Chains A and B, each alone.
Chain A
Amino acid sequence: MGPLPLDVPVPGASFSDLLEIVGASPVFSIPEGATAPSAPEGTTVLALRYPNGVVIAGDRRVTEGNLVAHRRIRKVFPADHYSAIAIAGTAGLAIDMVKLFQVELEHYEKIEGIRLSLEGKASFLARLVRNQLPLAFQGLVVVPLFAGYDERLEFGRVYSFDVVGGRYEEIDFGSTGSGSRLARSYLRTAYEDDLTGDDAARLAVQALVSASQEDTATGGPDLRRGIFPNVVRIDSDGVEELPDNVIAPIAESALETIR
């Protein structure tokens, strides 16, 4: 390790700005008319609110064209103590975006001594998506989903995004990825205003199972291999990843009842 970066003219507490200044952020120069190589793509993720918090979940499949590239990838990640991010789209780029986002939130918190507001985190994520815009034109699209517990307003919030970095707050649920419409139409009929955290987790898994029945890019629970959706719950106590032994019975009963 060399001497500390003391003279770095970082304007604020942003880690990604720091990366840019030290020349460590990726630079894309794509020749005119080039076509993107096919890269594995992550598929369905969703988030839904309940009175005390929010649940965010995703299937485990990554596809490359009509092939299954990976069966047990993770698409839902805790971002900090009170928020989580889920990703759909080009997996390699998306996972890197998650890593940068996580470091950014922690970096800000350490430098400033206080966490960003939930709104602030969502805005920053929108900026990360917008930075990918040149790649989106090449077909390498990353669209995250963001959910968290607002410490100041004391309720859970869900933000969805579009490919140009548009940010939209959802009042009940949101989803993104290939099976997102199917998951949403399931939630549209099953969603209720007075859900508990457990209800919300169950609904999330059911919606993913439902999507996996129609969309081949969405991986359903794989009982033989022991692969289950990732579910993260966030409330006033913070972020909690639900373990497989909690998800497995929910997934099994969802598979049993579905037609």
Chain B
Amino acid sequence: MTIPFYVAPEQLVRDKAEFARKGIARGRSIVGVDYSGGVLLLGENPSTALHKISEVYDRIAFAGVGKYNEFETLRKAGIRQADLMGYLYSRDDVTAMGLATAFAQTLGMIFTRDPKPFEVEVLIAEISEDGDEHRLFRISYDGTLYDERNFVAIGGKAEQLTEALEELWHEGMSLEEAFTAGVESFRRVEGRESEGWEAAVLDDSNGRRAFRRLDVDQFTEV
């Protein structure tokens, strides 16, 4: 009979965290930027078919970085959860806070229970009914939930992007300004031109379903 090796829990958690961080660092980052009237989600994505940013509910959007199949699983589960809640109760009962908690719980459970943690970071954005109040939640691979203000970044370069955005962001930006700030933050951090952007907004002017994908060419020309 073989006796399994004893691994201290501290070691186990450290190893898993390092593994997850490495996986996330391989992918590209995404930023969320507040502007007057909405939230912009922007990331480098050369593919026009595989999306990292998606609509979840009327006023809630999702963005994921890391391993595609893993955050895609989470995205779909989030949509299922949101649509179930909204159908069984009321559309008003679906909130980013509730969803972010559910994502956090799920990722936390996977991190402790499964041999391999998810190599993902997730961003949940929401705009309030009147469009004035914006919420940005960031959930890391181990289920830690962060409530962010004004701007947020997820992915391997999150820290540098946040630093760049701290300088670039200011109150009352227009969508164009927010887009420019987002692009500039990537340029500073990556030190090169992007191969393609994926961008979407939650904007008050879009009616009940506030989510809309942006035609990036239109913006980059300006």
Contact = CB atoms under 8 A, between A and B. Distances in A.
Interface of A: 1-6, 8, 10, 15, 18-19, 22, 24, 99-100, 103, 106-107, 110-111, 113
Contacts of A2: 102, 105
Given A110-B54, A113-B51, A4 B87 contact: no
A237 B145 CA distance: 41
B80 interface: yes
A2 B56 CA distance: 17
7 contacts: A1-B81, A1-B101, A6-B77, A8-B77, A19-B84, A107-B79, A110-B79
B7 interface: no
Contacts of A107: 79-80, 83
Q: Please provide the 4 A-B residue pairs with the shortest distance between their CB atoms, ordered closest to farther.
A: A4-B77, A1-B98, A3-B105, A4-B106
Is chain B's interface secondary structure helix, strand, loop, or mixed overall? helix
Given A22-B84, A106-B209, 19 more contacts: A1-B81, A1-B98, A2-B105, A4-B102, A4-B105, A5-B80, A5-B81, A6-B74, A6-B77, A15-B83, A18-B84, A19-B87, A99-B87, A103-B86, A107-B79, A107-B83, A110-B55, A110-B79, A111-B76
A3 B83 contact: no
Contact of A6 (B54, B73, B88, B101): B73
B54 A113 contact: yes
A106 B83 contact: yes
Contact of B103 (A4, A10, A103): A4
Contacts of B56: 110
Contacts, number: 63
Contacts of B51: 113
A3 B106 contact: yes
Given A24-B88, A110-B56, A113-B54, A4 B81 contact: yes
B12 interface: no
Given A99-B87, A113-B51, A3 B102 contact: yes
Interface string B31-61: 0000000000000000000010011100000
Interface in B189-216: 209
A99 B73 CA distance: 26
A15 to B, nearest CB: 6
Contacts of B164: none
B99 interface: yes
A18 B102 contact: no
Contacts of B168: none
B93 to A, nearest CB: 9
B102 A1 contact: yes
Interface in B59-78: 73-74, 76-78
A3 B103 CA distance: 7
B86 to A, nearest CB: 7
Nearest to B101: A1
Contacts of B73: 6
A99 B74 CA distance: 25
A109 to B, nearest CB: 8
Nearest to B49: A113
Interface in B80-127: 80-81, 83-88, 98-99, 101-103, 105-106, 109
